[in-house]
Amino acid sequence: MTMVGALEGLVAMLLLASGLLSLIAALGLLRLKSFFQRMHAPALAITFGSWCAALASIIYFVALESRPALHTVLIVVLIAVTAPVTTTLLARASLFRDRAAAAAKHQQDDGA
């Protein structure tokens, strides 16, 4: 097996892993019950899946086409920074909403 063939195989395996992680995230959305549980599976899968796809892109463009892949590194850094932040903001918004609904129900029960 040549070096090019081995690198193409590695790129294919990384892309398949990325797709598999996306499938696992989708199944997690279907199977898990509460909103907070549903947030967990896609948040992890998008992070690891995007890392696999980006690594495959870096290997392909740098090793096989001899071109720099700086744009791919930038994408990975942006995803690594924004994915946890958006997950935290969604969790806080949902928690605030649940607490507000519970307080409104409590006030309604006390007033009736």
Q: What is the pLDDT of residues 7-26, one digit of tens each?
A: 889 999 999 999 998 898 88
Rounded Cα distance between 107 and 102, Å, is 9
Render pLDDT for 75-99 as a digit per residue (tens, 0 to 9).
Answer: 888 888 888 888 888 889 988 988 8
Q: What is the pLDDT of residue 16?
A: 96
Parent domain of 34: 3-111
Rounded Cα distance between 45 and 50, Å, is 8
Given 3-state DSSP classes, what are the helix, strand and coil percentages for the chain, each rounded to the nearest 5? 90, 0, 10
For the chain, state the CA radius of gyration: 21
Rounded to whole angstroms, what are the CA distances from 64 to 37, 43, 67?
40, 31, 8
Give the total number of structural domains in the chain: 1
Q: What is the pLDDT of residue 19?
A: 93
